[in-house]
Structure 1
Amino acid sequence: MIELARQYGRYGYRRIAALLRDAGWHVNDKRVERLWRREGLKVPSRQPRKGRLWLNDGSCIRLRPEYRNHVWSYDFVHCRTDDGKAFRTLNILDEYSRECLAIKVKRKLNSTDVIDALSDLFILRGVPACIRSDNGPEFVAQAARDWISAVGARTAYIEPGSPWENGYCESFNARFRDELLDGEIFYTLREAQILIEQWKRHYNTKRPHSALGYRPPAPETVVPMDHRPTMH
């Protein structure tokens, strides 16, 4: 438990308990919590709940994902390498499964990069019913809007100044920054790309997700080797 807490410093005892059970330990949350407190480990502070977007007419907009590939969302995150030069990441999520579909890392990202990243995913996974994003210039570029419509997906833009309407991406971005970006020094862009890809793989296949019953969004599947007769 202490080793996992040291390795994943921003995880609380429930997430650590899920990792222990995944590793074969027969422990429940209460026992882990007792040991957690006895060892003086601190539970990360909870994020405040965000409200809904209420319009002037009293109605409330809320597009909820109902199945895999129903709603994807995407957003930018800013960071810097050790030399002070900025880079950006384009994070794309499936809101229903909570799987991170892609993180594109470049010094500069624009609407063309958004189209390139989405087109690769469309080939691999098919076209989602709806794509949610904020109102940044990369997302509202006419070329991107026309392309998304042409391939059969709807665009859903959140209201300006209302990040909670893109809550899935906002939550992911917060975990991404808290668990990786704030704790790493990236000396080169290439190093950032490698470490971010490694974190994405861990997030999808290992990291327990509280909204999924402390299961990872896309756990790895182990295929046993065939039992072949031994040659004498």
Structure 2
Amino acid sequence: MVHRNARLTVTGRLILVRRILGGRPVSHVAKEMGVSRQCAHRWVGRYRVAGEAGLSDRSSRPVSSPAATPPETAAAVVELRSRERLGRDEVARACGISPRTASRLIAKAGLPALHQLDPVTGIALRASRRTQVRYERDAPGDLIHIDVKKLGRIPDGGGWRTQGPDFIDHHHGRDRKVKLGFDYVHVAVDDHSRLAFAQIPPDEKGTTCAAFLAAATDFFARHGIPIREVMTDNAKNYTVSTAFQTQLHAVGATHITTRPHCPWQNGKAERFNRTMQEYWAYRAPYISNQHRADALAPWLEHYNYARPHTACGGRPPISRVSPTS
């Protein structure tokens, strides 16, 4: 295969060599063929050593690459990313390589970005083109992001996800087309440290949101974090609810809302919701709704105190909370 920027094909190189070996000056032939004298001398030299075979392009790959990633490590990176759908930093730690190397190997394998994958099936979806503007408050408690994530409830036995697409609950006379309702997962995420708190109340009414804010305030207070500002979307259970506004006043926090139709402004909560879905809600084939609910607290414990977080320099969120807190 000829180099894409080559001035001469193999045939052109052979013409150049024959003209020079026929007695014509190298500089004249080089000018006719549109190449430099050095290039002409190089092709003549290769022809004299290897004949016409010497006029083919050579690979630019070095003879040896002692610093190259071993093939077994590259295969382990691809296998771990495909099977566990982990981020590049987690893959890098597991395989003993740098995050940049992990990114390169993942890209070389043609694997899609995690946000392009369905959280349950792992099937690639259409990539999002939205550009996010990143920011971070200076201290814990400066801003708490609050949101509600609705998750479809799981029938006893696990439903079609564990029993297959044709599953029918004969005991209750129910098939997968019958809706079971939602779990309302209320989340609160500290903008600076990413420390997170979550509960599953029965609904998302204003009084329920107020009770969650009180519980979140207690959680952050136990870590020495006073809440100064709270960000939510423009749902009425936040903006109109007297109970929620009263609780905000009791906390002494200022209420900030996102612009309409701009959920990415509450990005810390949105990103936590995605992580929560990937590593808790859809991580295992739960056999009941209570089974999944019981797994929330242990996962939050791991997220806050053990799980490495990229925004925290590869350390868990608790590492960014003041040691005196």
SS in 2 for 1:114: helix
Partner of 2:147: 75
Distance 1:132 1:48, change over 3 A: same
Residue 138 (structure 1) aligned with residue 208 (structure 2): no
Partner of 2:207: 112
Q: How far off is 1:183 after superposition? A: 3.5
Q: How far off is 1:188 after superposition? A: 3.3
* TM-score, with length taken from structure 2: 0.53
Q: How far off is 1:170 after superposition? A: 1.1
Contact 1:71/1:132 (<8 A) preserved: yes
* TM-score, with length taken from structure 1: 0.72
Partner of 2:131: 50
Residue 92 (structure 1) aligned with residue 188 (structure 2): yes
SS in 2 for 1:73: strand
Deviates more, 1:88-97 or 1:124-133: 124-133
Distance 1:12 1:183, change over 3 A: same
More helix by share: 2
Residue 171 (structure 1) aligned with residue 246 (structure 2): no
Structure number, greater radius of gyration: 2
How do 1:1-232 residues align onto structure 2 when only pairs under 5 Å count? 5=80, 9-18=84-93, 20=94, 27-29=97-99, 42=111, 44-45=113-114, 48-51=129-132, 64-83=136-155, 84-100=180-196, 102-124=197-219, 125=221, 126-140=225-239, 141-218=241-318
1:11-58 superposed Cα distances (whole Å, 9 cap, x missing partner)? 13322224x4xxxx86433565688789x7946445655346xxxxxx
What is the percent sequence identity of the aligned residues?
20
Take 2:139 and 2:266, find their aligned partners in 1: how far apart are those partners? Answer: 17
Distance 1:45 1:65, change over 3 A: same
- State how many pairs are aligned: 203
Cα root mean square deviation, aligned: 3.2
Q: Any unmatched runs of 5+ in structure 1?
A: 53-61, 220-232
More strand by share: 1
Take 1:7 and 1:45, find their aligned partners in 2: how far apart are those partners? Answer: 10
Q: In structure 1, what residue type is equivalent to 2:294?
A: I
Deviates more, 1:72-81 or 1:171-180: 171-180
Larger RCO (CA under 8 A, 6+ residues apart): 1
Take 1:34 and 1:133, find their aligned partners in 2: how far apart are those partners? Answer: 37
Q: Any unmatched runs of 5+ in structure 2?
A: 1-72, 116-127, 156-179, 320-325
Q: How far off is 1:113 after superposition? A: 2.4
